[in-house]
Chains A and B, each alone.
Chain A
Amino acid sequence: MSELLEAPAAGSVTAAPRNYEILPKPTDDGEVGGDLLEVAMGPHHPSTHGVFRMDVVLDGEQVVKLKPVFGYLHRNHEKIAENTTYLASMPYTDRLDYLCSMTNNWAYALSVERLTGLQPPERAEYIRVITAELTRLVNHTCLVGFLLQDMGALGTPLMYAFREREIILDLFESLTGSRMMCNYMRFGGCRVDLPVGWLDQARSALDGYEEFLETFQKFLTENEILVARSQGIGVLPPELAISASITGPMLRASGVNYDLRKVDKYGIYDRFDFRVPLGDHGDVYDRYMIRVLEMQESVKILRQALRDIPGGPIVDPKAKIRGFRPKAGEAYGRIECPKGELGFYLISDGSPNPYRYRVRPPSLINLTVLEDMCLGQTVADAVIILGSVDIVLGEVDR
């Protein structure tokens, strides 16, 4: 077994030389070599949150090697976008990270606005913040539900999480006409204005949400099983996190203060009073807690935004729907989506279609350190470490 890799030193900034041999495909009965067992977890596996696959080599129950395998949901988003107009890609962005269509819309709209110089009016900016933070609530609630399901709390927390999700999806549906695939933002603004009474509906939904968060916290945060299962598991040191381009709650759980809402201050985030929660162990429990705390901060932002939202137009008058041709150039725009930094890199050659359309997927890049976090842990822990990374396969493979 000596030819198999040794665990790289945790915290090594650059990639340690490692054994990168492709694993042979396991036979039907599972290949057994010596004391090692090679398992392909996925692409059909209940704990991989979609069609993700991990090729795991196990020594007893310990993970000695783990290789993620991607591409089972590679549906050519970038190629399709390069063959169609700028606006026609907007509905496709919904389907990237299909839990958070609003933030995907925003990231793409922001990049095109960077490219063309469009400026959304005040009201549109507020609507964007409101919908994005609602999306963050949806994503984090579902993630917590799925994570607890991975830990063995079958059904119940997820049931409550989806109950709350439905309330927010009702808001999205009355605003955009669709539950999940909102296709709501446009270059230089938003598609339609808020329906009458929507703000009140949102406020009352928020009241219910705060109550739910309190209950959730009370039952779960100090739950003995949760603590025993997740503390000290899957530790990610901050140096490695920075080097591996980890972003989002996973980075902040390792104690690195980098939140694009504070760093880039895109949109109007500099007007809101909120804090960026940071972890200090970088383990699964911290990643869980960061999400819970971020939800509380999101509620705070939402309260302020719902209070301050002004009237006015919702689209930049300079924005053109027909004959939209940005002049030649390129732009990279990025926002803090619930999973991390979602960026769009666009190159325009002056034609109606983008010459190059690239999505910077936080879910894929956050998986870079999956092996480093899982080495030496048991296979059951590998499942919850993957759960705490928070991936959506539509974005990993695009």
Chain B
Amino acid sequence: METLDQIKSRIEGAFPGAALQIIPNESAAQQPSLVVDNASAFAVARWLRDDPALRLDYCSNVSGVDWLPAETTTKTKVKKLVNGVEQEVEEVTKTARPGYLEAVYHLYSMSLKHGPVILRLRTLDRAEQNQVPSLTPLWRGAEFQEREIYDLFGIRFDGHPDLRRILMWDGFVDHPMRKDYVEPDDYDYEPTPHDEVLEKAQKHQGTEVSA
């Protein structure tokens, strides 16, 4: 199979407006992935499915990932004139990255038996602008997985035929797989001498006493 760079340049040839970005993967797996902007994601995905050299007809896995807002610090060495002498000074720049939600698609080809090509779709933020296009019309195998991501992460998939909760009950309000989810406080009785749990249990008993 072609490398992801080759695929990327071919996509750019086919869709000049598409904004693509390769996410390198430092782990031993060597599975880099491709971020596609939401506007052209559906067309790019269809192209990946139908292209005769790729034929990615099998969408194996769809996962949601929650990325909290983060601050990255980068240190750059800059040459500066300090007291008339040129010196190398470390400059720390802090860039705040807004949080976003991500849907990761692992695509394989059953007919050509290769893969994976990993597609990532990103929402703009974690609150209102949480839509990405649904790829269920292209691969039906994504149907339940996208529903699960909607349920547990709160990504809205535009164009999904049946987007409703799948694992939690209908009246549930939160998205429990998000990193900042606060679980219900039912630590009434915790005999386990396990630090974290014990702390929660004591907190629970404390609130009960004060209330």
> Does A332 have its Cβ within 8 Å of any Cβ on chain B?
yes
Contact at A70–B140, with CB atoms within 8 Å?
A: no
Q: Which residues of B contact A358 (CB under 8 A)?
A: 61, 63-64
A334 to B60, CA, bound (A): 10
Q: Which residues of A contact B14 (CB under 8 A)?
A: none
> Does A356 have its Cβ within 8 Å of any Cβ on chain B?
yes
Contact at B140–A79, with CB atoms within 8 Å?
A: no
Kindly supply a per-residue 1/0 record for chain B positions 106-149, scoring 1 wherever the CB is within 8 Å of any chain A CB and 0 otherwise: 10001101001010000000000000000011111111110010
Contact at A343–B144, with CB atoms within 8 Å?
A: no
Q: Which residues of A contact B177 (CB under 8 A)?
A: 78-79
Contact at B136–A15, with CB atoms within 8 Å?
A: yes
Contact at A15–B143, with CB atoms within 8 Å?
A: yes
Q: Which residues from 46 to 80 on chain B have a C-beta closer than 8 Å to any C-beta of chain A?
A: 57-61, 63-66
User: Whole-angstrom distance from the CB of B164 to the nearest CB of chain A?
Assistant: 7
Contact at B161–A243, with CB atoms within 8 Å?
A: no
Q: Among the listed B27, B141, B148, which residue makes an inter-chain contact with A327, where contact means beta carbons less than 8 Å apart? A: B27
- B35-43, B91-99, B166-174, B200-208: which lies at the interface: B166-174
Q: Among the listed A114, A243, A326, A397, which residue makes an inter-chain contact with B167, where contact means beta carbons less than 8 Å apart? A: A397
Q: Which residues of B contact A355 (CB under 8 A)?
A: 65
> Does B26 have its Cβ within 8 Å of any Cβ on chain A?
yes
Contact at B142–A332, with CB atoms within 8 Å?
A: no
> Does A87 have its Cβ within 8 Å of any Cβ on chain B?
no
- A98-106, A215-223, A275-283, A362-370: which lies at the interface: A362-370
Contact at B140–A15, with CB atoms within 8 Å?
A: yes
User: Whole-angstrom distance from the CB of A353 to the nearest CB of chain B?
Assistant: 12
A329 to B169, CA, bound (A): 34
Of B64, B141, B168, the most chain A CB neighbours within 10 A belong to B141
Contact at B65–A22, with CB atoms within 8 Å?
A: no
Q: Which residues of A contact B141 (CB under 8 A)?
A: 243-246, 365, 368
Contact at A367–B144, with CB atoms within 8 Å?
A: yes
Contact at A332–B166, with CB atoms within 8 Å?
A: no
Contact at B144–A364, with CB atoms within 8 Å?
A: yes
Q: Which residues of A contact B31 (CB under 8 A)?
A: 330-332
Q: A115-B29, A331-B27, A332-B116 are in contact. Are A244 and B140 (CB under 8 A)?
A: yes
Contact at B61–A345, with CB atoms within 8 Å?
A: yes
A82 to B104, CA, bound (A): 17
Which size bracket describes the interface of B in this complex? 35 or more
Q: Which residues of A contact B137 (CB under 8 A)?
A: 14-15
A200 to B104, CA, bound (A): 46
Q: Which residues of A contact B169 (CB under 8 A)?
A: 71
User: Whole-angstrom distance from the CB of B148 to the nearest CB of chain A?
Assistant: 8
> Does B28 have its Cβ within 8 Å of any Cβ on chain A?
yes
Q: A263-B113, A343-B60, A345-B63 are in contact. Are A18 and B161 (CB under 8 A)?
A: yes
A286 to B28, CA, bound (A): 40
A365 to B63, CA, bound (A): 13
User: Whole-angstrom distance from the CB of B161 to the nearest CB of chain A?
Assistant: 6
Q: Which residues of A contact B104 (CB under 8 A)?
A: 345
Q: Among the listed B29, B144, B148, which residue makes an inter-chain contact with A330, where contact means beta carbons less than 8 Å apart? A: B29
User: Whole-angstrom distance from the CB of A251 to the nearest CB of chain B?
Assistant: 8
> Does A360 have its Cβ within 8 Å of any Cβ on chain B?
yes
Kindly supply a per-residue 1/0 record for chain B positions 143-183, scoring 1 wherever the CB is within 8 Å of any chain A CB and 0 otherwise: 11100100000000000011011111100000011000000
A330 to B142, CA, bound (A): 21
Closest to A258 in B: B110
Of A17, A71, A76, A245, the most chain B CB neighbours within 10 A belong to A245
B residues near A (Cβ < 8 Å) are 25-29, 31, 33, 57-61, 63-66, 104, 106, 110-111, 113, 116, 118, 136-145, 148, 161-162, 164-169, 176-177
Q: What 10 A-B pairs are tightest by C-beta distance, nearest first? A: A245-B141, A329-B27, A117-B28, A331-B29, A71-B167, A20-B162, A358-B63, A360-B61, A244-B140, A114-B29
With A329-B26, A341-B60 given, can you name 10 additional A-B contacts, CB distance below 8 Å? Answer: A15-B161, A71-B165, A71-B166, A243-B57, A243-B141, A327-B27, A332-B116, A360-B63, A369-B140, A397-B167
20 sampled A-B residue pairs with Cβ under 8 A = A15-B143, A70-B166, A71-B165, A115-B29, A116-B28, A240-B140, A243-B139, A243-B140, A244-B140, A245-B140, A245-B141, A330-B27, A330-B33, A332-B31, A334-B61, A345-B104, A358-B61, A364-B145, A365-B144, A367-B144
